[in-house]
């Protein structure tokens, strides 16, 4: 290149630089130079770079949010989820126990059924998630170790008869919860259930319609309560699972579209935590007005792979 041209170009660059306010590297207070972005925290970052997490607008989970609320507070561009000893996927297993219904004046019925759920991973190891645990407060974990239960259902029969009839009650439950993999425990596990005395459950209710409850062709009832379990990372399964549900946590005409149940994050019918209305699993149900039941459950992942 001609030396005269080079000198001219050099003087132009120096002149342009002299007209602009010098801007330091990332983190300089706004205003920002061209090709830099001003974040709401009054800091400059290069165009195309995410603002600091504090600038993402996320706030701590308020105490009045539902127990199942999860808040992913980081502002990151990562697309691939990080590895975790717990695994997302489809889980299936069994549900057993004893139930005392108001329809048979509290006579205990054997309960058995199938559990189906999907675990969804909430994010990456570079993100932080907060879990609002009912009765415990806020727990913060890396999002790759936080999983939500989606599409969870329990279906089966009370008393073991294969089809509906006298004392043979089909039941249907929806289930929710959050797996805290760091502690290998299910937080905020909750079930909302419908059982029917005659006919079969109409599946225009429940998960298909977005309503946690289903409806019956005849008489029926509803119950709601806790779902607890540990998580075994060696077998990728929920273990030592227990459930406990009470009819006191539901209102309306049982088995109809007028029925509704507590979601686990709302106070009980007379105030206080919903869990206050549950009875001891061993002998707590059966005498009016204490109708409900308790038992155990477990699931294993069908499509997971170990690292």
| Interval 106-131: pLDDT, tens | 888 999 999 999 999 999 999 999 98
| Cα gap 101→159, rounded to integer Å | 11
Same domain as 253, residue 153: yes
Does a structural domain hold residue 306?
no
- Domain boundary among the residues 57, 79, 102 is at 57
In this predicted structure, what is the pLDDT of residue 9? 33
Counted domains in the chain? 2
Beta bridge partners of 192: 174, 224
How many beta carbons lie within 10 A of that of residue 245, not counting itself? 29
pLDDT in tens, 202-255: 665 555 567 899 888 888 999 999 999 999 999 999 999 999 999 999 999 998
Distance of CA 189 to the CA centre of its chain: 8
Q: Taking residues 287-299, report their average pLDDT.
A: 94
Among the ranges 58-67, 228-237, 277-286, which has the highest mean pLDDT value?
Answer: 228-237
Instruction: Give the mean pLDDT of 147-175.
Output: 80
Say which residue, 179 or 64, is predicted with more confidence: 179
Regarding whether 47 and 131 lie in a shared domain, the answer is no
Contacts of 184 by beta carbon, 8 Å cutoff, 6+ apart: 86, 230, 231, 232, 233
Q: Is the CB of residue 53 less than 8 Å from the CB of residue 74? A: yes
Token output for 14:
């120096």
CB 149 within 8 A of CB 177: yes
- Indicate whether 35 and 106 sit together in one domain: no
Of residues 62 and 80, the one with the higher pLDDT is: 80
Averaged confidence pLDDT in the chain:
77
Mean pLDDT is highest, among 1-10, 34-43, 71-80, 108-117, for: 108-117
17 domain-assigned: no
Helix or strand run (H / E) with residue 19: helix 3-19
pLDDT for res 200: 63
84-104 exposure pattern, b = at least 16 Cβ within 10 A, e = fewer: bbbbbbebebebebbbbbebb
Whether residues 30 and 140 fall in one domain: no
Structure tokens at 184: 């290998």
What are residue 122's phi and psi, to 5 degrees? -85, -20
Which tens digit of pLDDT belongs to each residue from 166-199?
Answer: 457 889 999 999 999 999 999 999 999 999 987 6
Share of the chain above pLDDT 70, in %: 68
pLDDT at 282: 85
Spatial separation of the C-alpha atoms in residues 261 and 172, rounded to whole Å: 13
What domain range is 39 assigned to?
23-57
User: Quick one: 153 and 178 in the same domain?
Assistant: yes
Residue 297: the pLDDT is 98
Residue 266 located in a structural domain? yes
Mark whether 33 and 116 lie in a shared domain. Answer: no
Whether 274 and 193 map to the same domain: the answer is yes
Same domain for 278 and 240? yes
- Give the residues across from 95 on adjacent strands: 113, 297
Detail the DSSP E strand segments found in the chain: 36-38, 44-46, 70-72, 89-100, 108-121, 128-133, 137-142, 146-158, 169-180, 185-196, 201-202, 215-216, 220-232, 237-246, 250-251, 260-261, 292-301
Q: Collect all residues with Cβ–Cβ distance below 8 Å to 290 and sequence separation of at least 6.
A: 100, 106, 246, 248, 279, 284
Query: What pLDDT is attached to residue 54?
Result: 34
Q: Is 227 a domain residue?
A: yes
């Amino acid at each position: 290149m001609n030396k005269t041209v080079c000198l001219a170009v050099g003087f132009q660059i120096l002149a342009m630089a002299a007209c602009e306010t010098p801007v330091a590297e990332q983190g300089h207070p706004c205003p920002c130079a061209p090709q830099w972005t001003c974040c709401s925290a009054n800091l400059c970052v290069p165009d195309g770079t995410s603002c600091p997490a504090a600038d993402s607008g996320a706030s701590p989970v308020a105490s009045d949010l539902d127990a199942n609320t999860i808040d992913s507070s980081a502002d990151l561009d990562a697309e691939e989820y990080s590895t975790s000893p717990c695994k997302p996927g489809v889980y299936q297993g069994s549900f057993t126990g004893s139930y005392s219904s108001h329809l048979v004046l509290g006579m205990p019925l054997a309960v058995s059924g199938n559990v189906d759920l999907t675990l969804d991973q909430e994010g990456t190891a570079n993100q932080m998630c907060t879990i609002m645990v009912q009765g415990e407060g806020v727990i913060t974990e890396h999002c790759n170790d936080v999983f939500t239960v989606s599409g969870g259902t329990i279906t089966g029969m009370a008393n073991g008869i294969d089809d509906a009839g006298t004392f043979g009650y089909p039941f249907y439950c929806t289930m929710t919860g959050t797996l805290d993999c760091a502690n290998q425990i299910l937080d905020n596990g909750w079930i909302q259930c419908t059982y029917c005395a005659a006919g079969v459950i109409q599946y225009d209710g429940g998960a298909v319609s977005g309503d946690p409850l289903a409806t019956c062709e005849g008489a029926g009832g509803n119950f709601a309560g806790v779902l607890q379990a540990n998580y075994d990372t060696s077998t990728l399964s929920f273990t030592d699972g227990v459930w406990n549900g009470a009819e006191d946590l539901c209102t309306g005409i049982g088995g109809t579209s007028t029925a509704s149940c507590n979601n686990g994050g709302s106070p009980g019918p007379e105030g206080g935590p919903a869990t206050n209305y549950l009875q001891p699993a061993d002998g707590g149900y059966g005498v009016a007005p204490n109708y409900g039941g308790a038992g155990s459950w477990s699931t294993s992942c069908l499509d997971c792979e170990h690292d």
